[in-house]
Structure 1
Amino acid sequence: MSDKADEVIAEMSAAVELGRAGQTGPAREQLTALWERIGADGDPFHRCVVAHYLADLQDDPADELAWNLRALEAVDTLTDERVRQHHDSLAVRGFLPSLHLNLVEDYRRLGQLDQAREHLTRAQESLSALGEDDYGDMIRDGVRQAAEALTT
């Protein structure tokens, strides 16, 4: 099953494209409105991906951290069945390396190195969930770079 007709995913994708085109303000506004519409008890897949993309559009590292924490929180109630409605190849455990990597970077930028190291460990422990593809390579490289940044 695919949720390609899912209006939330369509709206999110359009907003993400705005952000990638350099229109971060309008993208952030659209995703924030979408987040408010989804609500705190909404679909955990939607909450996870919208929060994940909203984090990338924040100017303040503390705000970025807050959105990344929301994305990780949503994963706690997300099921493989739900993510496979979006794409058959997905599994919840595959989200974890990226989500923890984002938190490593947020905490590092905020000078909270103990928390950064904790999420680095979690990211490293979850790397086996990644495929041998460009995305997996990108996340593994990011985890390696984050580890180096925390040891220098």
Structure 2
Amino acid sequence: MRDWTSITNAIALALSGERQRGREALLACWEATAQGDHAQRCVLAHYLADQRSALDEEVAWDEVAMSEHAYVVDEDLVPIGVTSAAALAPSLHLNLGDGYLRQGRLDDARAQLDAGMQAQSTLSIDGYGAHIRSGLERLRQRVEEVQLP
């Protein structure tokens, strides 16, 4: 899959509240990708994670998104208006860290939080950047609140 149109349409559907139809559309796009379509697979996995009701499935998709991100370069995301592959990392770390924390994997959650905090300088100074920074701060607070046994 090289064209982003069906992916952006599937994302819009998922974000519109049409959870089941959005998930089906995202999965159809996923199945149309090739193993080398790292940017598309990263973005799809990122959104597929949010469409899962089972925590383990959510985290598994977040892990896929993070794995695919390792192969994404800036020009791969230009078609969807993202000018820096690095700027996607804080959101990926936030989601994965949140999932790990909810699974009780505190060390893994801290590692993702640390990576997200280190990468937040790549975020733009706009609503999206503020949203991710705020999410990282909330995750930091939640991690600090966890009492070790």
What is the rounded CA distance, in whole Å, between the counterparts of 2:79 and 2:20 in structure 1?
A: 30
How many pairs are equivalent?
Answer: 145
TM-score by length of 1: 0.88
Does 2:24 align with 1:29?
yes
What is the rounded CA distance, in whole Å, between the counterparts of 1:109 and 1:8 in structure 2?
A: 35
Question: CA deviation digits over 1:46-99, x for unaligned, max 9?
Answer: 111111111110011111111111111111111122223443x61111011000
> Which of residues 86, 93, 105 in structure 2 aligns to 1:100?
93
What is the rounded CA distance, in whole Å, between the counterparts of 1:147 and 1:52 in structure 2?
A: 21
> Which of residues 72, 78, 85 in structure 2 aligns to 1:84?
78
Select the structure with the greater relative contact order (CA < 8 A; seq sep ≥ 6). 1
Contact in 2 for aligned 1:8/1:34 (Cα 8 Å): no
Question: CA deviation digits over 1:84-130, x for unaligned, max 9?
Answer: 3443x611110110000001110011111110001000000101101
1:1-152 map, 5 Å: 8-39=3-34, 41-87=35-81, 90-152=83-145
Give percent identity, aligned residues only.
Answer: 34
Contact in 1 for aligned 2:33/2:41 (Cα 8 Å): yes
Once superposed, which parts of structure 1, at least 4 consecutive aligned residues long, lie more than 3 Å away?
none
| Shift, 1:44, TM fit | 1.1
> What letter is aligned with 2:42?
C
> What letter is aligned with 1:66?
A
What is the rounded CA distance, in whole Å, between the counterparts of 1:58 and 1:85 in structure 2?
A: 26
RMSD between aligned residues:
1.6
The 3 A distance-change label for structure 1 pair 78 and 22 is: same
